[in-house]
Amino acid sequence: MSYQAEYQRSMNDPEGFWREKAQALPWFKFPETILSQDSDGIYHWFADGELNTSYMALDYHIEQGRGDTLAIIYDSPVTNTKTTYTYSQLRNEVAKAAGMMASLGVTKGDRVIIYMPMIPEAVISMLAVARLGAIHSVVFGGFAAPELAVRIEDSQPKIMISASCGVEIKRVIEYKPLLDKAINLSSHKPQSCIIFQRPECTAPLTAGRDHDWSALMAHAQPVAPVPVKGTDPLYILYTSGTTGKPKGVVRENGGHAVALNYSMDAIYNLKAGDVFWAASDVGWVVGHSYIVYAPLLHGCTTIVYEGKPIMTPDAGAFWRVCSEYGVKALFTAPTAFRAIKKEDSEGEFLKQYDLSKLTTIFSAGERLDPPSQQWLMDKSGKPVIDHWWQTETGWGITANLQGVEPMPIKLGSSTVPTPGFNVQILDESGQELPRGQQGYIALKLPLPPSCLATVWGSVEKFKESYLSMFEGYYASGDGGYIDEDGYVFVMGRVDDVMNVAGHRLSTGEMEEVVGSHPAVAECAVIARDDDLKGQIPIGLVVLKTGAQINEAEFSKELAQMIRASIGAIACYKDTYIVQRLPKTRSGKILRKNLRQMINGQEYIVPSTIDDPAIMPELEALLSSKGAKVGS
Ligand code: COA
Ligand code: AMP
């Protein structure tokens, strides 16, 4: 089948297209309603179907005779541990973990927050929540206590699951104090917490609230999968928007299973039994979709890797894993490739491993810069495929569909729209722009299965954040263009969201933290391009009149405040003290101009600027402080 034929069918007859894709999965009750709209006008897929995602991802494969196939390979260079789980073993653990949660009162629709490092118990917990028809919300282990607290407050979990610690390259990070602090900060209190004690550190348990994972599991009774509706939520995953408060993206069971299972064939070209490795973290959407759900729904073996691309122990780490387990497709973020390239520019490590089973390398999370893409293709001899997606969609919006029709790679492009996604480039007024012209990337409604159904707790917020900018479209927040051949080029965010090492962070949220320092009158946090991490934040700060500070100390204090409020992953280090910030006459800070200036790009100041002299003044000041600027 050609790409064009597949894509056009998804556009001309979306219901027929997705009904057919849904037939590949074992529903308890196959949906009669494929696409529908609710009273708020929001589209949903497979509303009256009945399924259980944990059943589809585990029990079904055992029924098909794949019980002895490996489901998970856990490889942890930071703890020197390797373990495997067959589908039968994993199902048994998941059924027991579901029983453990049920014994604490978790039932269908309840929320469970999972705050864990990259260990199999994180995956087991997610699948166990799904088995009960409950809703998980996984919080990335690198987030600090206040970030966790916001998610507790918003999702109101009945229970929380955590581990005693995470293990980073240089240190063991105790999770329990962060968990306790977050619960203290939140007005909502979970009834119980289950703590998985790791040998690297043992956490003291709070009597009456905390339970030891192993002690509960020892007596837990396995439970059967609970049927849910296609539109019942599987999970909430919080993501940074432009405001200080993250948004809870709600993913529904039915559409999620169908789209992810389809993507394993269409995008990644994988079959049951193949080994797939998404080198990410379960705390991010890539981890949800491609460490956990998609490979397991498809009967593949997935790798849970607790390590880094470099330093665990060297820049050959990824190639060692690919070779050792016969990985067929590898998926990670460009920052990982850049880290490897920096340490091993000649690709010497690549040569040491047998990568004959590796057919394709996939990249997402941020734009894959052409030099890194070319370098990796040259050194590995494999196609390196960029694909564009978001937490909100849960899978690739544009891709080079290896299982449909592999297309020529164009450096810098994430290729063509994935079937189901009607990708358009619009101008500010919502008019479609011709090929080659850069604008807002928008997706014409309805979105295909798996895309967010709402923002947790507020359909109004969903509409306001995504649907109100362009009538009849989902506004992606990204800008870019489509070329004459229909290839999509995603050039970056058009809003104040930044991307640090593939992690999406809100500049607004960082500004709230910086602005809370007693010496700060006002501030702007801007994304500066970075060779390794893509972008890193820097702060421009105007001090309160009379504030007495030591500049170096002050900068350290702000960095520490961001670490404590958001997490070390924000990588906030540099602060520049300025006299004033450029603003429009109505008082809006000209962040886009600042971003362009700080990155040495040309910028055109709007006529609404209150004082045009400020930009050259600021440029001179920042240059004198060693910042790279200049139009
Ligand atoms: N729990 C706690 N802390 C964490 C953490 C976690 N899960 N993950 C990262 N951190 C901490 C690190 O310890 C580090 O802290 P430090 O400043 O005290 O040293 C900080 O957050 C930054 O970490 P990281 O972004 O990993 O930077 P690094 O310089 O240690 O490593 C890379 C650089 C490129 C190797 C690393 O960024 C990387 O592997 N990136 C890939 C990201 C990725 O897979 N993204 C997936 C999105 S699809
Ligand atoms: P997240 O929701 O954290 O996965 O971040 C999604 C954002 O990351 C998108 O809106 C883009 O800005 C960026 N992104 C992800 N993948 C790509 C890609 N392949 N090319 C360009 N930007 C990307």
pLDDT in tens, 358-388: 999 999 999 999 999 999 999 999 999 999 9
Read off the tokens for 93: 């653990």
Rounded CA separation 235/138 (Å): 8
Closest by alpha carbon to 74, among 264, 358, 301, 362?
Answer: 301
Q: What does the mean pLDDT of the chain come to? A: 96
412: CB partners within 8 A, 6+ apart: 367, 368, 369, 370, 373, 489
Please choose from 251, 369, 410, 490 the residue to mutate so as to test ligand 2's pocket, defined by most ligand atoms within 8 A of CB.
Answer: 490
Backbone angles phi, psi at 255, to 5 degrees: -60, -35
Residue type, 366: E
- Nearest atom (ligand 1) to Cα of 166: 1
Rounded CA separation 240/505 (Å): 5
The pLDDT of residue 284 is above 90: yes
Rounded CA separation 284/298 (Å): 20
- Whole-model pTM: value is 0.95
Read off the tokens for 302: 């997935």
Ligand closest to 364 (CA) is 2
Q: Are 404 and 3 in contact (CB under 8 A)?
A: yes
Ligand closest to 241 (CA) is 2
**Which pLDDT score, from 0 to 100, does residue 225 have?**
98
Q: Whose CA is nearest to atom 3 of ligand 2?
A: 504
571 CB-side CA count, 13 A? 20
Rounded CA separation 316/548 (Å): 49
Reported as a single tens digit per residue, the pLDDT across 601-625 is 888 888 889 998 999 999 888 888 8
Q: Are 91 and 320 in contact (CB under 8 A)?
A: no
Q: How far is CA 363 from CA 284, 301, 506, in A?
A: 14, 19, 22
Rounded CA separation 557/563 (Å): 10
Ligand 1 proximity of 534 Cβ (cutoff 6 Å): no
Ligand 2 proximity of 386 Cβ (cutoff 6 Å): yes
50 CA distance to ligand 2 middle (Å)? 32
Ligand closest to 393 (CA) is 2
pLDDT band at 631 (very low <50, low <70, confident <90, very high): very low
Q: Whose CA is nearest to atom 7 of ligand 2?
A: 390
Domains 3-307+387-480 and 501-624 share a fold: no
Ligand 1 proximity of 310 Cβ (cutoff 6 Å): yes
**Which pLDDT score, from 0 to 100, does residue 240 have?**
87
102 CA distance to ligand 1 middle (Å)? 34
Cα dihedral value 181, 186, 187, 188, nearest 10: -100
Rounded CA separation 544/465 (Å): 33
Read off the tokens for 252: 């529904």
Rounded CA separation 402/3 (Å): 10
The pLDDT of residue 25 is above 80: yes
Fold of 501-624: GMP Synthetase; Chain A, domain 3 (3.30.300)
Rounded CA separation 174/203 (Å): 8
Q: How far is CA 342 from CA 146, 219, 376, 572, in A?
A: 34, 49, 12, 21
Q: Whose CA is nearest to atom 19 of ligand 2?
A: 388
**Which pLDDT score, from 0 to 100, does residue 628 have?**
67
Closest by alpha carbon to 260, among 558, 24, 51, 591?
Answer: 24
Ligand 2 proximity of 290 Cβ (cutoff 6 Å): no
Reported as a single tens digit per residue, the pLDDT across 441-482 is 999 999 999 999 999 999 999 999 999 999 999 999 999 999
Q: Are 376 and 370 in contact (CB under 8 A)?
A: no
Ligand closest to 142 (CA) is 1
Please choose from 139, 284, 308 the residue to mutate so as to test ligand 1's pocket, defined by most ligand atoms within 8 A of CB.
Answer: 308
Read off the tokens for 106: 């978790």
Q: What percent of the chain has pLDDT over 90?
A: 92
Rounded CA separation 500/532 (Å): 9
**Which pLDDT score, from 0 to 100, does residue 601 have?**
87
Ligand 2 proximity of 415 Cβ (cutoff 6 Å): no
144 CA distance to ligand 1 middle (Å)? 13
Read off the tokens for 39: 């009273």
Q: What percent of the chain has pLDDT over 70?
A: 99
DSSP string, 482-498: E-TTS-EEEEEESSSEE
Q: What angle do CA 431, 437, 441 make, to 5 degrees?
A: 60
CATH class of 3-307+387-480: alpha beta
Ligand 2 proximity of 281 Cβ (cutoff 6 Å): no
395 CA distance to ligand 2 middle (Å)? 11
Q: Are 261 and 21 in contact (CB under 8 A)?
A: yes
**Mean local confidence (pLDDT), 516-543:** 95
Cα dihedral value 368, 417, 258, 357, nearest 10: -50
- Nearest atom (ligand 2) to Cα of 476: 10
452-487 exposure pattern, b = at least 16 Cβ within 10 A, e = fewer: bbbbbeebebbeebbbebbeebbbbbbbbbbeeebb
The pLDDT of residue 626 is above 80: no
- The Cβ of residue 509 has, within 10 Å, a number of other Cβ atoms equal to 25
Ligand closest to 317 (CA) is 1
- Nearest atom (ligand 1) to Cα of 280: 44
Read off the tokens for 573: 């280090």
Burial environment of residue 254 by CB neighbours within 10 A (0 to 12, 13 to 18, 19 or more)? buried
Reported as a single tens digit per residue, the pLDDT across 101-139 is 999 999 999 999 999 999 999 999 999 999 999 999 999
569 CA distance to ligand 1 middle (Å)? 6
Element of type H or E holding 499 = strand 497-500
Residue type, 610: D
Please choose from 118, 304, 335, 500 the residue to mutate so as to test ligand 1's pocket, defined by most ligand atoms within 8 A of CB.
Answer: 335
Rounded CA separation 156/111 (Å): 7
139 CA distance to ligand 1 middle (Å)? 15
The residue written with tokens 């919300």 in the block is: 137
The residue written with tokens 């997402």 in the block is: 364
The pLDDT of residue 337 is above 70: yes
**Which pLDDT score, from 0 to 100, does residue 201 have?**
97
Domain spans, the chain: 3-307+387-480, 501-624
- Nearest atom (ligand 1) to Cα of 500: 25
620: CB partners within 8 A, 6+ apart: none
Q: Are strands 135-138 and 111-115 parallel, antiparallel or unpaired?
A: parallel
Burial environment of residue 599 by CB neighbours within 10 A (0 to 12, 13 to 18, 19 or more)? middle
**Mean local confidence (pLDDT), 292-314:** 98
Beta bridge partners of 423: 443
Ligand 2 proximity of 389 Cβ (cutoff 6 Å): yes
**Mean local confidence (pLDDT), 190-208:** 98
The pLDDT of residue 496 is above 90: no
**Which pLDDT score, from 0 to 100, does residue 220 have?**
98
**Which pLDDT score, from 0 to 100, does residue 627 have?**
72
Backbone angles phi, psi at 438, to 5 degrees: -85, 140
Reported as a single tens digit per residue, the pLDDT across 230-266 is 999 999 999 987 776 899 999 999 999 999 999 999 9
